[in-house]
């Protein structure tokens, strides 16, 4: 079997989903490998089109499948890529599987038209791969026993942790005055589902039991102003314990994970917006 992965998120695109697909490609068990068609250059989705923005993907999938002889397509995003994959399957005879992470499914499930299309795509897939068991159970509940036979759970994984750059560790310790302090650390996009606001709200309670600590928040995102405002309403002493370091490099991430005494990310489900798996939990271990 010769397979093609189509995805909107793939390195150099940054994030957990892109990392998930990179690992699938790197550890693909078949000798002829897994080919990738991603959205670099707008090959799959074009923002210039007023509607049916996925049309470029249909043309490029058909051309790639016919040229390379693929008989299996792995769909990285049920919407919008499931639509051209379904059409390409009908036209070429290639089977397709769909990979789901969480929000991609729950957001599609909120709207009648998108729900109908997503379920059409899933019902015609030969396999549905979920990155976490919570999502797999939700799909089984929604779509019934027949489709549950097609569902597999493949959790994300990570490679060996790289050697930590001690020069960066020393630099961070000096820059933020961390000597002799316990370090609580969160890294991730600054959105409510990650739970940084829970930790900020808990700082006064923590301070009553532990005086010499800091809470370091790494990352950027749409809720940055909200989180900083939440920190501002604390007392001066508690506010001084919260350090926003912004977006960090991969080397800095490993340095902070080495430095910290506890990694914290109390993620939660907010109306279908939930952490699919959270690969950073594995990295923090």
CATH architecture for residues 3-153: 3-Layer(aba) Sandwich (3.40)
- Average pLDDT by consecutive 10-residue portion of the chain (285 residues)? 95 86 91 90 89 94 96 97 97 97 89 95 96 91 88 88 94 96 96 95 95 96 96 94 96 96 91 74 85
Residue 178: phi and psi, rounded to 5, are -95, -5
The ranges assigned to domains in the chain are: 3-153, 166-284
Q: Hey, what are 257's tokens?
A: 């994970």
DSSP for residue 53: T
Q: Give the pLDDT of residue 276.
A: 67
In 3D, which of 51, 92, 43, 91 has the Cα closest to residue 71? Answer: 92
pLDDT at 13: 85
Cα R_g (the chain), whole angstroms: 22
Look at the domain 166-284 and name its fold.
Rossmann fold (3.40.50)
Return the closest-CA partner of residue 39 out of 11, 15, 16. Answer: 11
As beta bridge partners, residue 73 has 4, 96
Q: How many CB atoms lie within 10 A of CB 194?
A: 26
């Amino acid at each position: 079997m010769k397979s093609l992965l189509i995805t909107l998120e793939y390195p150099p695109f940054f994030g957990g989903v892109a990392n998930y697909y990179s690992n699938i490609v790197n550890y693909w068990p078949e000798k002829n490998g897994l080919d990738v068609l991603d959205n670099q250059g707008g090959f799959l989705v074009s923002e210039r089109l007023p509607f049916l923005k996925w049309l470029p993907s249909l043309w490029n999938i058909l051309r790639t499948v016919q040229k390379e002889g693929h008989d299996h397509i792995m769909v990285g995003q049920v919407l919008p890529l499931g639509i051209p994959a379904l059409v390409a399957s009908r036209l070429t005879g290639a089977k397709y599987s769909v990979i789901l992470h969480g929000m991609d499914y729950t957001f599609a499930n909120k709207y009648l038209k998108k729900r109908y299309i997503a379920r059409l795509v899933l019902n015609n897939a030969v396999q549905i791969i979920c990155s976490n068991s919570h999502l797999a159970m939700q799909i089984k509940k929604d779509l019934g026993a027949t489709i549950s036979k097609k569902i597999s759970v493949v959790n994300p994984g990570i490679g060996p942790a790289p050697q930590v750059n001690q020069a960066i560790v020393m630099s961070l310790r000096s820059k933020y005055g961390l000597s002799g302090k316990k370090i609580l650390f969160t890294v991730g996009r600054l959105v409510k589902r990650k739970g940084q606001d829970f930790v900020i709200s808990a700082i006064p309670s923590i301070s009553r039991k532990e005086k010499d600590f800091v809470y370091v928040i790494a990352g950027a995102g749409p809720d940055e102003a909200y989180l900083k405002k939440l920190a501002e309403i604390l007392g001066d002493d508690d506010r001084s314990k919260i350090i926003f370091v912004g977006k960090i490099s991969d080397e800095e991430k490993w340095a902070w994970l080495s430095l910290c005494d506890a990694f914290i990310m109390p993620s939660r489900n907010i109306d279908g917006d939930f952490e699919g798996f959270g690969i950073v939990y594995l990295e923090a271990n």
